[in-house]
Structure 1
Amino acid sequence: MEMLRRSSVFAAEVFDRSPTDKELVSQAKALCRDYIHSRLNRAGIGWSRPEQGVAASGGKLAEVSLVVQWLGDELEYLRPNVYRNVARQLNITVAVEGVVSDAFMAVAADIFSTGVTWGKVVSLYAVAGALAVDCVRHGHPAMVHTIVDCMGEFVRKSLTPWLKKRGGWADITKCVVNTGPTLYSHWLVSAAFAFGHYLKAVVLYLLREK
């Protein structure tokens, strides 16, 4: 608990300057922990939050966390079947860490195969939350940490240059403030439908690998 609290506080303290790659990854993982905890709580699964999560710590990262969760809610509302029973859709077992890691990284790679947008970033967090719910429901809560680590690893390898160009995670809040309802709705619908196609592609890919 103390480690989670310290990491969240550290991640929240670096918004006053240009973040380093390491800080962007730390923030990505802190946001992922918050997102997963919110999804587990919403699913009615007994799971204690960190003593001080990102949302509770205040500051800019707390605002980012709330925005990511809210946008994730909208995506899940638009395409509920896409973000439920992800493990079943991917035809994987959640009992093996390597299987969960490989599946998450494969989905992430497909989502961003044609470029990076905030809609796709939120979509990946929605996948992480849904997969975490599957893992805990099937009696493998330790996989939550695996998913968080995978998020950090993918951000480190693929998203840090894009994030740095935008000044870090706080840029996502501009999507909510500066985008009108029509464009905002279109942005979410595009992300939701795009991920539906990515998920089908990854299912076929994983089946071929067996």
Structure 2
Amino acid sequence: MAATAVFSSPAMHRLCSSLESSVDSPTTQRRELKYECQSIAHFCIYNKLKTHPLAQAGSLAIPPVGQISPSMHRVAKVVQRVAGEVEKRYNTQFNDMCCKLRLTTTTAYATFAAVANEMFSSGVNWGRIAALFAFVTSLAWSLTERGHIGVVERMPDWVAQFVEKNVGEWIASKGSWNAFVQEFERKCPDEITYDIENTDCGLTKLNIATLFGLLIATAFLTK
């Protein structure tokens, strides 16, 4: 009886409510989202660079992806696939943009964030988030070509920092990464390409012209 009285007391109810609130608090959600973004970015970068000729020759040491949950592994695979379709579609533009960027240890994140901010300057949707990861993997490849693997290792943190600060609330409001999976997981490449260019979940105004605008913007960043 005493135990029942304790667990049914108003004080215990307040304690339980407090604990439940802390678990689902905005701070906790942001922390989880930041970790998820780090994991997804690391997964995408790792799987992109393991196909690099230097990696194939055993001359490139790529930090492996840490252990992630099965659900996050599923998310990361879908993000990688969709980002890959975006990168394939805009390969020339991304390559040109990445080649123009001159990243130093002091300006690296600020330069990355300036380009990423431009991608979301007229709104947020899943297609633009996929484009962000496409940019990240393109940039990782370009930096590896220039011998800056140390900078590449920091990129998952850049993505997490940018997403948490700029688009994290939007992602959470849409149902987090599960919504991305539901939108794209079962679609073939042609359907993904159509969606990222022509629907509300896609790039919409972030088209070829805007990507060339990004190239012009990054040209100023390199001077």
**Normalising by structure 1, what TM-score?**
0.77
For structure 2, the 5+ residue unaligned runs are: 1-22
SS in 1 for 2:121: coil
Is residue 54 of structure 2 the alignment partner of residue 42 of structure 1?
no
1: CA distance, partners of 2:111 / 2:210: 12
Is residue 67 of structure 2 the alignment partner of residue 59 of structure 1?
no
User: Aligned residues, how many?
Assistant: 189
Deviating more after overlay: 30-39 vs 174-183: 174-183
Is residue 146 of structure 2 the alignment partner of residue 138 of structure 1?
yes
- The amino acid across from 1:160 in the alignment is G
Q: How many Å apart are 1:98 and its aligned residue?
A: 3.1
Is the 2:46–2:65 contact (alpha carbons within 8 Å) kept by the matching residues of 1?
A: no
Deviations 1:70-108 (A, max 9, x none): 1122112222212325322xx2324x1233322211111
Task: Quickly say closer, same or farther: Cα 1:136–1:64, change in 2 above 3 A.
Answer: same
Q: How many Å apart are 1:49 and its aligned residue?
A: 5.0
Identity %: 21
Is residue 120 of structure 2 the alignment partner of residue 109 of structure 1?
no
Structure 1 residue ranges, 4+ long, deviating more than 6 angstroms after superposition: 178-182
Of residues 164, 172, 194, the one that matches 1:164 is 172
2: CA distance, partners of 1:107 / 1:32: 17
Of residues 203, 207, 210, the one that matches 2:215 is 203
- The amino acid across from 2:167 in the alignment is L
Is the 2:30–2:164 contact (alpha carbons within 8 Å) kept by the matching residues of 1?
A: yes
- Partner of 1:127 in structure 2? 135
2: CA distance, partners of 1:181 / 1:141: 30
2: CA distance, partners of 1:130 / 1:194: 17
Is residue 98 of structure 2 the alignment partner of residue 87 of structure 1?
yes
Task: Quickly say closer, same or farther: Cα 1:197–1:103, change in 2 above 3 A.
Answer: farther
- Partner of 2:10 in structure 1? none
Is the 2:197–2:204 contact (alpha carbons within 8 Å) kept by the matching residues of 1?
A: yes
Q: How many Å apart are 1:205 and its aligned residue?
A: 2.9
Alignment of 1:18-33 (within 5 A): 20-33=29-42
- The amino acid across from 1:164 in the alignment is A
1: CA distance, partners of 2:204 / 2:66: 27
Task: Quickly say closer, same or farther: Cα 1:171–1:160, change in 2 above 3 A.
Answer: same
Is the 1:32–1:148 contact (alpha carbons within 8 Å) kept by the matching residues of 2?
A: yes
2: CA distance, partners of 1:129 / 1:181: 18
For structure 1, the 5+ residue unaligned runs are: 1-16
Of residues 58, 70, 94, the one that matches 2:81 is 70
The Cα RMSD (Å) is: 2.8
